[in-house]
Structure 1
Amino acid sequence: MKQLIAFVVIVFCHSTSLYAQKFMTYNLRYDNPNDGLNKWELRKENITDLILKYSPDIFGTQEGLSRQLDYLDENLKNYSFIGVGRDDGKRKGEYCAIFYKCSDYKILDESTFWLSNTPNKISIGWDAVLERICTCALFENKKSGKKFWVFNAHFDHIGKEAQYESSKLIVKKIQEFNQCKYPVVLMGDLNLMPSSKAIKFLSKNFLDAHFQTEAISNLGTFNAFKHKEPVVDRIDYIFVDKSSNVKNYRIINDKLNGKYPSDHLPVLVELK
Structure 2
Amino acid sequence: MENIKVGRKNNYIFDCFWEIKIINRNNLTFNPFRYRNLLIILFTILGFQIFAQEIKVMSYNIRLDVKSDGENWWENRKNRVSDLMNYYEADFIGCQEVLFHQLQFLQNELNSYEYIGVGRDDGKTAGEFSCIFYQKNKYKLLHQETLWLSPTPDSVSFGWGAACRRVCTYGLFQLKSNNKKVLVFNTHLDHISEQARQESVKLIAEKANQISQKHHYPIIIMGDFNSKLDEIPAKWMSEKFNNTRTVCESKPYGDSDTWNGFQFDKKPQGCIDYIFVSKDDQWSIKKFATITDSYQMKYPSDHFPILATLYYK
Normalising by the smaller structure, the TM-score range is: over 0.9
Distance 1:121 1:13 in 2: 43
**Which AA in structure 2 matches 1:15?**
I
* Corresponding residue to 1:167 among 197, 201, 204: 201
Deviation at 1:32, TM superposition (A): 0.8
* Corresponding residue to 2:127 among 93, 107, 110: 93
Q: Verify: 1:212 aligned to 2:247, yes or no.
A: yes
Distance 1:113 1:237 in 2: 19
Distance 1:256 1:48 in 2: 13
* Corresponding residue to 1:51 among 75, 78, 85: 85
* Corresponding residue to 1:15 among 50, 71, 92: 50
Distance 1:59 1:4 in 2: 40
SS in 1 for 2:202: helix
Match of 1:240 in 2: 277
* Corresponding residue to 1:78 among 86, 94, 112: 112
On the 8 A contact 2:173/2:182 being kept in 1, the answer is yes
Deviations 1:147-192 (Å, cap 9, x if unpaired)? 0100001000000100100011111111222231200000000001
**Which AA in structure 1 matches 2:310?**
L
Unaligned runs of 5+ in 2: 1-5, 7-14, 20-41
Match of 2:11 in 1: none
Q: Verify: 1:29 aligned to 2:66, yes or no.
A: no
**Which AA in structure 2 matches 1:265?**
F
Distance 1:23 1:42 in 2: 26
Identity of aligned residues (%): 40
* Corresponding residue to 2:190 among 142, 147, 156: 156
**Which AA in structure 1 matches 2:306?**
V
With structure 2 as the length reference, what TM-score do the two structures score? Answer: 0.82
Deviation at 1:230, TM superposition (A): 1.1
**Which AA in structure 1 matches 2:285?**
V
**Which AA in structure 1 matches 2:227?**
L
Distance 1:43 1:59 in 2: 18
Q: Structure 1 pair 222/97, CA: closer, same or farther in 2 (3 Å)?
A: same
Deviation at 1:15, TM superposition (A): 1.6
The structure, 1 or 2, with the larger RCO (C-alpha pairs under 8 Å, 6+ apart) is 1
Deviation at 1:12, TM superposition (A): 4.9
Deviation at 1:33, TM superposition (A): 1.3
Distance 1:58 1:5 in 2: 38
Deviation at 1:61, TM superposition (A): 0.2
Distance 1:218 1:262 in 2: 16
On the 8 A contact 2:220/2:278 being kept in 1, the answer is yes
Deviations 1:207-264 (Å, cap 9, x if unpaired)? 0111112414653000111111111310000001112210000110111222110000
Deviations 1:8-57 (Å, cap 9, x if unpaired)? 889658625x6111000000100111111000111011011111111101
Q: Structure 1 pair 11/168, CA: closer, same or farther in 2 (3 Å)?
A: closer
**Which AA in structure 1 matches 2:263?**
K
Distance 2:279 2:206 in 1: 17
**Which AA in structure 2 matches 1:94?**
E
Match of 1:271 in 2: 310
* Corresponding residue to 2:223 among 169, 183, 188: 188
On the 8 A contact 2:255/2:290 being kept in 1, the answer is no
**Which AA in structure 1 matches 2:223?**
G
Match of 2:167 in 1: 133
Q: Verify: 1:226 aligned to 2:263, yes or no.
A: yes
The aligned length equals 270
**Which AA in structure 2 matches 1:66?**
F
Distance 1:4 1:195 in 2: 50
SS in 1 for 2:87: helix
On the 8 A contact 1:219/1:232 being kept in 2, the answer is no
Deviations 1:39-90 (Å, cap 9, x if unpaired)? 0111011011111111101110000011111111101111110100000000
Distance 1:3 1:205 in 2: 44
